[in-house]
Every structure is written in structure tokens, then in C-alpha cells.
């Protein structure tokens, strides 16, 4: 099964780089893509794959370091207000509308609850740092790499 693991974030803003840090673990094992922001480039990164795993820092109000797996029933209910604030979920819907045959049949979205995305630092907060091995383990399990 042709798979891509996509990390989203900015490594210069503390916890915002968590998705990129997690994807680092999969380089040279599976195809990976790193995106600095959420844009139409996300759709391009998934085209032609059977399965995609998207990893990003999220702010949902849960305890920092919590790992949230967003299921399709969740992301089908979330809408953005316009093209300047498109969410991952909205971009996936657009991708399926424009490229129904080329989009992955399976998409898994894994978020790590962030604490600080404003401080200039390449280090994650301790709670977010501690969540990285668990997130990596969940992805390996999903991919059958354990």
C-alpha cells in the first residue's frame, strides 16, 4: 500500500514543530512530506497515495501533550470560513471533490495538543516532548512497522 506521512508545523515556534519532529522518525522508512503551513500543498502531497497520515500540533483545550486521532466523522463536520483560513479538514474535502480518484482511500489525522506556539524556540515544551514517542508508536502500529 503506497503511504505518505505528512508533518505540518513551524520548527521555530516551540510546540508548533511537533508534527515535523514526529515525521523525522519515518524518514528513510516511508515517504514523508514536511509542510510549514496548511495550504493547497497538502492536497498535492497526498495525490497518488493509497493512505496518508497527517501529523500536526493542535489546540483543542485538552491537556498539553494529549494525542488526538481525528476520525472522518469529526473532520466532515468542521468547516472553515474562507480560503485564507482553510483547515486540514476542509482541504481534504476539497481534494476529494477535485481529485476523487487520486486522493488516498485512507487518511488518518493525528494531533498533539500544544502548549506554546508563540515562543521562538526549536525545543518543544516538556509535555509535548513527552508525547512524541507515543505518537510515533501509534503511527508505527497503524503502518505495521512495530
For residue 65, name the pLDDT band (cuts at 50, 70, 90): very high
User: Which domains does the chain carry?
Assistant: 3-143 (3.40.50.1450)
Q: Can you list the positions of beta strands (E) in 25-145?
A: 31-35, 51-58, 67-70, 106-113
- The structure's pTM equals 0.90
- Whether residue 108 contacts residue 69, with contact meaning beta carbons closer than 8 Å, is answered with yes
Q: List, for residues 10-37, the tens digit of each pLDDT value.
A: 999 999 999 999 999 999 999 999 999 8
User: By C-alpha distance, which of 87, 120, 8, 10 is closest to 53?
Assistant: 8
Least reliable range by pLDDT among 44-48, 107-111, 142-146: 142-146
- Res 59: pLDDT: 87
Q: Position of cell 510515533?
A: 136
How, if at all, do strands 51-58 and 31-35 pair? unpaired
Q: List, for residues 94-104, the tens digit of each pLDDT value.
A: 999 999 999 99
Amino acid at each position: 500500500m503506497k503511504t505518505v506521512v505528512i508533518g505540518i508545523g513551524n520548527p521555530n515556534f516551540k510546540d508548533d514543530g511537533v508534527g515535523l519532529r514526529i515525521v523525522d522518525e519515518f524518514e528513510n522508512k516511508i515517504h514523508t512530506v514536511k509542510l510549514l503551513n496548511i495550504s493547497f500543498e497538502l492536497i498535492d502531497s497526498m495525490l497518488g497515495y493509497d493512505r496518508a497520515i497527517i501529523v500536526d500540533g493542535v489546540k483543542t483545550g485538552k491537556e498539553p501533550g494529549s494525542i488526538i486521532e481525528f476520525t472522518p466523522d469529526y473532520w466532515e463536520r468542521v468547516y472553515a470560513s474562507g480560503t485564507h483560513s482553510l483547515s486540514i479538514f476542509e482541504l481534504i474535502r476539497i481534494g476529494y471533490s477535485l481529485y476523487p480518484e487520486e486522493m488516498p482511500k485512507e487518511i488518518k489525522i493525528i494531533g498533539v495538543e500544544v502548549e506554546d506556539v508563540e515562543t521562538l524556540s526549536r525545543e518543544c515544551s516538556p509535555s509535548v516532548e513527552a508525547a512524541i514517542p507515543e505518537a510515533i508508536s501509534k503511527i508505527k502500529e497503524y503502518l505495521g512497522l512495530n
